[in-house]
């Protein structure tokens, strides 16, 4: 059964069961605040794709004080959006997260540097101060520095790391030579702050051979033993991917839907439309979000290649599952 048929079956089931039977509740915990990075889920809800699948989906935004791994471990969500490095690190520490879908095929992570620092290649990082996000986002960076042979303790043969807030201030205020940015977000904040692309040198993790998977869907391993949970989440993933397909084809409308769901009022139409256009470049457009095992193995290789300080100490077992896609057949 393909995704279209699965959704149709959901509709038929809903019709047969009648209004007396409540839709299955699903709580999704996002990795970050409401923005076009998560447009597919908001579009799926707005367009009624979840409702058609007999699902009542609650989307909880994230933020600087929200760790999706802790939320789901505490029973606060059925499924979370997370980056694979953070999910695998959490798994190794005792939170058995399993990747069940991978809507994002490519990484949007990059280091953006001021050209006036003289940095032209990664070998020029030595002795420089670099801004890095933490709370699980530091793992790809640490793997890259390990690959380069740089310590991150501020010594003369390495780099100095400053804990970067979720803004671009360290670069604008020249506290750091480079900062972490996403292709769809902070890079454009730097541009909006007055820098031109010619004044910047950008190193994409994809280009440096250290890219890891971002924005996948994860559930707790024991939940996959329950056929009812698997069937429910299969419908959720199918409807979510339909949302992502619509968002990719209608980026401006998707951005508007995101803005309507931003209760903080912090987002702007210009930024969200630009973000949606950039996010679309990262999406998997061939496999309906089914994890590519080669991408998974590349991510694990990056994370275990950290010399004396790898992000994870060994290749995990059982960290992904195709159970939901099998249920769609």
Q: Where are the domains of the chain?
A: 24-104+213-328, 109-208
CATH number of the 109-208 domain:
3.40.190.10
What pLDDT, on a 0 to 100 scale, did the predictor assign at position 307?
57
pLDDT of 10 strictly over 70: no
This prediction's pTM: 0.90
Which residue spans within the chain are E strands per DSSP?
Answer: 24-29, 55-60, 79-82, 97-101, 109-114, 129-132, 160-163, 178-182, 200-204, 216-220
Over pLDDT 90: what percentage of the chain?
77
Tens digit of each residue's pLDDT (9 = 90 or more) over 192-240: 999 999 999 999 999 999 999 999 999 999 999 999 999 999 999 999 9
According to CATH, the topology of domain 24-104+213-328 is: D-Maltodextrin-Binding Protein; domain 2 (3.40.190)
Q: How far is CA 285 from CA 188, 200, 318, in A?
A: 24, 30, 25
Domains 24-104+213-328 and 109-208 share a fold: yes
pLDDT value of residue 15: 47
> Quick one: what percent of the chain has pLDDT higher than 70?
93
27-37: average pLDDT: 97
Q: Calculate the CA dihedral of residues 223, 228, 229, 233 and round it to 10 degrees.
A: 150
Report the C-alpha gap between 243 and 240 in whole angstroms.
5
Read off the pLDDT of residues 231-276 as tens digits, 9 standing for 90 and up: 999 999 999 999 999 999 999 999 999 999 999 888 899 999 999 9
- According to the model, what pLDDT value does residue 269 have? 95
């Amino acid at each position: 059964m393909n995704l279209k048929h699965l959704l149709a079956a959901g509709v038929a089931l809903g019709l047969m069961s009648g209004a007396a039977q409540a839709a299955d509740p699903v709580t999704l915990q996002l990795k970050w605040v409401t923005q076009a990075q998560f447009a597919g889920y908001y579009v799926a809800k707005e367009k009624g794709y979840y409702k058609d699948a007999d699902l009542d989906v609650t989307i909880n935004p994230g933020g600087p004080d929200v760790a999706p791994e802790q939320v789901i471990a505490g029973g606060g969500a059925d499924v979370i959006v997370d980056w694979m490095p953070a999910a695998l690190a959490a798994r190794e520490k005792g939170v058995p997260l399993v990747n069940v879908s991978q809507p994002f095929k490519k990484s949007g992570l990059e280091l953006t540097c001021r050209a006036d620092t003289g940095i032209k290649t990664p070998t020029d990082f030595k002795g420089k101060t670099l801004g890095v996000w933490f709370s699980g986002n530091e793992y790809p960076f640490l793997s890259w520095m390990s690959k380069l042979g740089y310590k991150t303790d501020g010594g003369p043969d390495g780099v100095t790391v400053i804990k970067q807030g979720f803004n671009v201030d360290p670069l604008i205020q020249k506290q750091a030579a480079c900062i972490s940015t996403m292709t769809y977000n902070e890079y454009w904040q730097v541009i909006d702050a007055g820098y031109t692309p010619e004044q910047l040198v950008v190193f994409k993790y994809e280009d440096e051979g250290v890219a890891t998977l971002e924005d996948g869907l994860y559930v707790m391993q024991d939940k996959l033993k329950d056929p009812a949970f698997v069937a429910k989440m299969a419908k959720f993933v199918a409807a979510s991917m339909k949302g992502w397909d619509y968002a990719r084809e209608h980026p401006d409308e998707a951005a508007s839907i995101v803005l309507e769901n931003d209760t903080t009022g912090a987002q702007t139409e210009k930024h969200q439309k630009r973000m949606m256009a950039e996010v679309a470049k990262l999406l998997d457009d061939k496999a309906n979000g089914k994890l590519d095992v080669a991408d998974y193995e590349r991510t694990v290789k990056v994370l275990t290649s950290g010399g004396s300080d790898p992000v994870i100490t060994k290749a995990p077992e059982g960290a992904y599952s195709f159970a939901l896609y099998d249920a769609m057949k």
